[in-house]
């Protein structure tokens, strides 16, 4: 199993640009989530999904959209990037209280 | 609400020293408690967990005991190694017994071990 994969690893955007961070898992987990990690802040939940077609907001959802058309994929969309969205983004899937994290996407918004 | 407070770092130790990283929590219901570790340039990995009061989680020489009376889940290791250098996160999940896993994280503690 590949586990949780994320693409791209690194991305630089200009303010106002849009992009999609990809996340996929091959473990057939129903629950998936997106976190952002900022220095001194730990991980904060952006959006999560409890299954295909079902998504909900976490702590810091503003500026981000998600959809879940399949069990495997859970993309995160930035419609109009802002410098405040400079961060490291982690996708995770969950089974029986254990979360499995992807390697992360490092995003810089200029 | 749910929250986790862990000791601020960075923590710097010599190899073979004893490690304690404090973690306390606030939660509604009956949370499960976790320690995750993040090695440089990587995502988080589960280090250990405990699902009910008085349970002890252990892995790779690390231990933590779920103390409901003090709402704590302190991480300990008797003899650290250079390879233990990483950021450690305490977390809780109040959806106990469910396959859902919404986690609340502490801010992380950076550990550096010198040879």
Residue B98 has pLDDT above 60, yes or no: no
Contact A31 B49 (CB under 8 A): no
B95 contacts on A by Cβ (under 8 Å)? 97
A8-56 pLDDT, tens digit per residue, is: 999 999 999 999 999 999 999 999 999 999 987 888 999 999 899 999 9
Query: Is A82's Cβ below 8 Å from some Cβ in B?
Result: no
The percent of residues in chain B predicted with pLDDT above 70, rounded, is 93
| Band of residue B101 on the pLDDT scale cut at 50, 70, 90 | low
Residue B96 has pLDDT above 90, yes or no: no
Residue A95 has pLDDT above 90, yes or no: no
Residues of B with CB under 8 A from a CB of A: 32, 34, 36, 42-46, 49, 51, 89, 93, 95-96, 98-103, 105-108
> Strands (DSSP E) along B1-115, which ranges?
3-6, 11-14, 19-21, 23-26, 32-38, 44-50, 56-59, 62-65, 75-77, 86-93, 104-105, 109-114
The pair of three-digit structure tokens given for residue B39, joined into one six-digit string: 């090695």
Per-residue pLDDT, averaged over B8-16, amounts to: 93
The percent of residues in chain A predicted with pLDDT above 90, rounded, is 85
Read out DSSP for A46-78?
EEEEEETTEEEE-S--TTEEE--SSSSB--EEE
Partners of residue A11 on adjacent β-strands: A107
For residue B8, the model assigns a pLDDT of 84
| Band of residue B95 on the pLDDT scale cut at 50, 70, 90 | low
């Amino acid at each position: 199993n590949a586990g949780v994969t994320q693409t791209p690893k690194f991305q630089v955007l200009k303010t106002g640009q849009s992009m999609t961070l990809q996340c996929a898992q091959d473990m057939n987990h129903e629950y998936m989530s997106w976190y952002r990690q900022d220095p001194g802040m730990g991980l904060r939940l952006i959006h999560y999904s409890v299954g295909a077609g079902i998504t909900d907001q976490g702590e810091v959802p503003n500026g981000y959209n998600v959809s879940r058309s399949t069990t495997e994929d859970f993309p995160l969309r930035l419609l109009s990037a802002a410098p405040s969205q400079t961060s490291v983004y982690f996708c995770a899937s969950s089974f029986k209280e254990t979360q499995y994290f992807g390697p992360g996407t490092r995003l810089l918004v200029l | 609400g749910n929250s986790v407070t862990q000791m601020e770092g960075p923590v710097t130790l010599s190899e073979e020293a004893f490690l304690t990283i404090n973690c306390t929590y606030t939660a509604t219901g009956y949370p499960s408690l976790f320690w995750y570790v993040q090695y440089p340039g990587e995502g988080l990995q589960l280090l250990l967990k405990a699902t009910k009061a008085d349970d002890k989680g252990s892995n790779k020489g690390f231990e933590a005991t779920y103390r409901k009376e003090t709402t704590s889940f302190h991480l300990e290791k008797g003899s650290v190694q250079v390879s233990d250098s990483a950021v450690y996160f305490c977390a809780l999940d109040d959806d106990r017994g469910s396959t859902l896993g919404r986690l609340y994280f502490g801010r992380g503690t950076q550990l550096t071990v010198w040879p």
